[in-house]
């Protein structure tokens, strides 16, 4: 990671990671260390996993009694929590910036978008179909503002 951080700061670097992996917990990508995130898919937990299946069944059984989310709603929340955490690796504070590319056709639906942070929803409404040229323009404009 030290090598990645040093390369990202000076000339740029590419880091590939999976949702909920090591890059999701305890890693800090500040400012120039993460100028773009390409999030592919919505990372729903594996419903074949016995622990996930058990949690969903528990939630379904006790959702009304204990005022907790039903199993499928809980599963959806877990998926969007991981997606939002990945997106948050790019823009860490109000003066930070980066491109966030969400690659999943389900995010075109309003129901899916309601689970995204407010600032992401606003950005999607303004630029829901970015082109290579619009990304280049964005990076040029933001790089000039940085200087």
Question: How would residue 52 be classed by pLDDT, with cut points 50, 70 and 90?
Answer: very high
**Distance (Å, rounded) from C-alpha 65 to C-alpha 121?**
34
Q: What is the pLDDT of residue 117?
A: 86
Q: pLDDT digit string (tens) for 69-106? A: 999 999 999 999 999 988 888 888 888 888 888 999 99
Range ranked top by mean pLDDT from 20-24, 72-76, 81-85, 112-116? 72-76
Confidence (pTM): 0.82
Question: How far is residue 19 from each of residues 24, 125, 144, 145, measured CA to CA in Å?
Answer: 7, 25, 32, 31
Q: Which residue has the tokens 């500040």?
A: 30
Output the pLDDT for position 40.
93
Mean pLDDT (the chain) is: 87
């Amino acid at each position: 990671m030290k090598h990645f951080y040093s390369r990202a700061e000076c000339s740029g670097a590419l880091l590939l990671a999976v949702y909920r992996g090591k890059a999701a917990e305890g890693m800090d990508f500040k400012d120039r260390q993460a100028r773009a995130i390409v999030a592919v898919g919505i990372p729903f937990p594996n419903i074949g996993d016995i622990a996930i299946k058990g949690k969903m069944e528990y939630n379904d059984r006790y959702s009304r009694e204990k005022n907790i989310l039903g199993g499928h709603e809980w599963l959806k929340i877990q998926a969007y929590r991981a997606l939002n955490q990945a997106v948050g690796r790019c823009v860490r504070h109000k003066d930070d910036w980066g491109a966030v590319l969400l690659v999943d056709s389900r995010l075109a639906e309003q129901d899916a978008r309601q689970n995204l942070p407010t600032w992401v929803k606003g950005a999607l409404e303004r630029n829901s179909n970015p082109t290579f040229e619009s990304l280049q323009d964005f990076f040029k404009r933001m790089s000039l503002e940085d200087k």
